[in-house]
Structure 1
Amino acid sequence: MSVPVLGPADAVEVARTLGRQLADGDLDRDLHRSLPYDEVKGLAESGLLALTVPAAFGGADASVSTVTEVFRALAWGDPNVAQIPHSHVVFLNQLRLHGSPEHQQRIFGEVLAGSIVANAQSEFGSKHVRDIRTTLSPAGAGWLLNGEKFYATGSLFADYLAVLSRRETDGSLQVAWIRKDASGVEVVDDWDAVGQRTTGSGTVRLTDVVVGADWVTPFSVEFDRPTTYGAFAQVLHAAIDVGIARRALDEAGEFVRTTSRPYPDAGVERAAEDPVVVHAFGQLELAVRGSEALLRVAAEAVDAANRTLTEDTAAEASLAVAAARASSTAVSVDVASQLFQVAGTRAALAGLNLDRHWRNARTHSLHDPAGWKVHHLGRWAADGIRPPRHGQI
């Protein structure tokens, strides 16, 4: 199979079409925790997961702005399906930056044939997100990989796993690229969160997994120089939150137009004409539009930094993304909660599953504390201090 190589306009249109199709089933998938194998397969076959493959390897080499809008459109339909390929595109970026030509040719070629990459980064019970205990030990001409990962989003659906690990010989962080079906790899479906229930973000166990010497890419050096690596990863998280917020508001509007009853004191025939409800919707629309605008500005800032990468442009990209991410966290959680206030008691019926928007927003937005985004924005505004270089900003 060879997937389509999509231009920017086609990619966005395909994403919006898929988003509408995903929206037809996201309520039931969440309610029954039906894992979206068919939906992820369709996503891979659409060509959207090959958008960031470099042109030199036959890919579309899409801009960050295009990829961000694709993720937003998919998240509008189902933020679970949108989150599954997040690590796919982030680690393809890591491969672009640090992979050998032979390694790049192999992985990029397989992505163009429909393969999917998932992450195995975080570890349950470690001191913090950057405390990596999974090890790469020398073994002949290659390495042995051992450890246990959690929050391994998309691992159930993947062909390849990009495993963040620490090299025993020097303590440096590396990314070990392995096939999911390799000997010693166990992927466990034990993800049990209140939201984002179908992302396949469970446990990956690694026992003496053989890794070739040329299937390891350096990660420790990622932040030794100006980079947009973290900003790219974070702007896609923001896109997912913004997609959730817009969908929650859209569903609230539909419910009020078709189902909600007006409050008697309003003296109107329809809930959508109630002035208190109308004002609340105006406030929510203002918040969502603001978050959407910050998202576009952030994506454009990352694109600008990629064209001319300096300390200043990298910092501006990170700050723009921090603003978008802080906004998207607050807005997605708030809109998904306010949905019930504007829609009324009937909206709380369990079978409608409207609470999935809040559960998804609350769960997804916990990836990185929004307070630290605001902190770094404040340091910049008050004292001109650039944000740190790491993957969380």
Structure 2
Amino acid sequence: MSQHPSFQQLVEHFRPVFSQIAEGTLQRERDRELPYQPLAWLKLAKFGALRIPVEQGGYGVTLPQLFILLTELAEADSNLPQALRAHFAFVEDLLNQPDSEVRRRWFSRFVAGELVGSGWTEIGDVKVGEVITKVTPHSDGWWLNGEKFYSTGTLYADWIDVYAQRVDDGSDVIALVNVHQSGVERSDDWDGFGQKLTGSGTTRFTQAQVDSAHIYPFNQRFRYQTAFYQQVLLATLAGISKALTRDASEGVANRQRVFSHGNAKLVRHDVQVLQVVGQLASWSYAVEATVNRASEALEYAYYVHDSGDDALIDQANINAEVEVAKAQVIATDLVPRAATELFNALGASDTRLSKALDRHWRNARTLSSHNPMIYKLRNIGDWIVNKNSPTFVWQIGHGSQ
């Protein structure tokens, strides 16, 4: 591969890694084996440096190219793109900041294979707008105390991107905390029925040390972050749609048992079964094309972020949010539907746990439950009809009685 690889060269560089990952996906799914080894392969291939500029040791891919590669990774194992979601979001935030020694230092860490996980959401007795996780200043930096759930990717990470509140002035911040210390406890207690291997369980912080340089005001995060986070999930859904189409096709091609009232002596020649596979492939095409279209809107929001034209920046961010919301509506409808429809091309034997074909629906449904679609539909309609901007940032917690 050349020093400045083309995107096709990059795809060819990563596809053998994706194939190696795919070989163990069923076993990991059946045995609930956390994907430490596949992530080690991705680190070795510098997958986490995809967006980092070439001159700083990365691959310098565009956002559409990033999401194409995440889709291919998701086809191999849908847990992995989601586990890397916080990492790529933090890299994106750095790319939206001016060049600095701090930014170059982070990029060097990521080129060397270090990863970032997520620590934003709190559960339990927490009200909407309340942040229980706190950072307290001390002479050598900050102490971080609190507990997070849905802390996706933290089991595999070197750093955690933690949403917290400063004790001294009450402002909301992002604290980048190193996991390699006794004050950070990570638990594999994610009990969702899908995306079981994303490392999305509990993370506890007890007097965890945070360097002063690793505290960032939350209100300075990159503008299109909400759409970006969702787009990673949509690329993952697109990958699932490709994987289930592949599995249906292989199942039909290899199936020997036929029904007496079918249309052919072999299932692969049965026109009704072929129609099902054609439907799956078409839905997958629609989802992938929709996700790719939304990627272009995100790329434009990045392109104009430092233009100095506030009106242009605002419009680009609104368009990115609305287009990703539209893509979410399409993907969260078609992919779970396809994951059910695939069984119309197969038989009862394909429901066996050894084949784990149910994982496609469970994983797709779990991903589709992030960021409620009904509110995205409302935002889309409100923008189209009333030109009211979509919701960019929100919180979740107990409502008032």
1:285 pairs, out of 281, 286, 311, with 281
| AA in 2 matched with 1:329 | T
User: Match of 1:175, SS?
Assistant: strand
The runs of at least 4 consecutive aligned structure 1 residues that moved more than 4 Å come to 4-7, 126-131
* Conserved? CA contact 2:18–2:73, under 8 Å: yes
1:140-179 alignment, distance < 5 Å: 140=139, 142-179=141-178
2:242 to 243, 246, 256: 246
Name the counterpart of 1:133. Answer: 132
Question: In structure 2, how many angstroms separate the alpha carbons of the residues matched to 1:382 and 1:289?
Answer: 29
- Does the C-alpha gap of structure 1 residues 189 and 245 become closer, same or farther in structure 2, counting only changes over 3 Å? same
- Find the residue that maps to 1:367 and give its secondary structure: coil
State the alpha-carbon separation in 2 of the partners of residues 166 and 152 from structure 1. Answer: 17
Alignment of 1:1-393 (within 5 A): 7-55=6-54, 57-97=56-96, 101-125=100-124, 127=126, 131-140=130-139, 142-222=141-221, 227-259=223-255, 261-309=257-305, 310-390=313-393
The percentage of aligned residue pairs carrying the same residue is 33
Q: Distance in 2 between matches of 1:305 and 1:97?
A: 10
Q: Deviation of residue 372 (structure 1)?
A: 2.0
Give the conservation status (yes or no) of the 8 Å contact 1:301–1:316: yes
- Equivalent residues, number: 386
SS in 2 for 1:27: helix
SS at match of 1:353: coil
Structure 1 distance, partners of 2:382, 2:260, is: 50
CA distance in 2, matches of 1:73, 1:177: 29
Shift of 1:80: 1.0
8 Å contact from structure 1 (residues 44, 114) kept in 2: yes
CA contact (8 A) 2:27 2:33 kept: yes
- Taking structure 1 as reference, are residues 100 and 308 closer, same or farther at Cα in structure 2, changes over 3 Å only? closer
CA contact (8 A) 1:76 1:246 kept: yes
Gaps of 5+ in 2: 306-312, 396-401
Stretch of structure 1 that moved more, 44-53 or 272-281: 272-281
CA contact (8 A) 2:117 2:152 kept: yes
Q: Which runs of 5+ in 1 are unaligned?
A: none
Q: What does the per-residue CA deviation read over 1:157-195, in whole Å, with 9 as the maximum and x for residues that have no partner?
A: 111111111112232221111110123111112222212
For normalisation by structure 2, the TM-score amounts to 0.89
Query: For the structure 1 residues 128 and 5, does the alpha-carbon distance in structure 2 shift closer, same or farther, using more than 3 Å as the test?
Result: farther
CA contact (8 A) 1:233 1:391 kept: no
Q: Supply the distance in 1 between the matched residues of 2:250 and 2:130 (Cα, whole angstroms).
A: 45
Distance 1:129 1:248, change over 3 A: farther
Q: Is the CA contact (8 Å cut-off) linking 1:260 and 1:346 kept in structure 2?
A: no
What secondary structure is seen at the aligned counterpart in 2 of 1:109?
helix
Letter in 2 for 1:115: E
Q: Return the offset for 1:302.
A: 1.1
Distance in 2 (CA, whole Å) between partners of 1:112 and 1:386 is 37
RMSD value, Cα: 2.3
* 1:108 match: secondary structure: helix
- SS in structure 2 opposite 1:144? strand
- The TM-score with structure 1 as length reference comes to 0.91
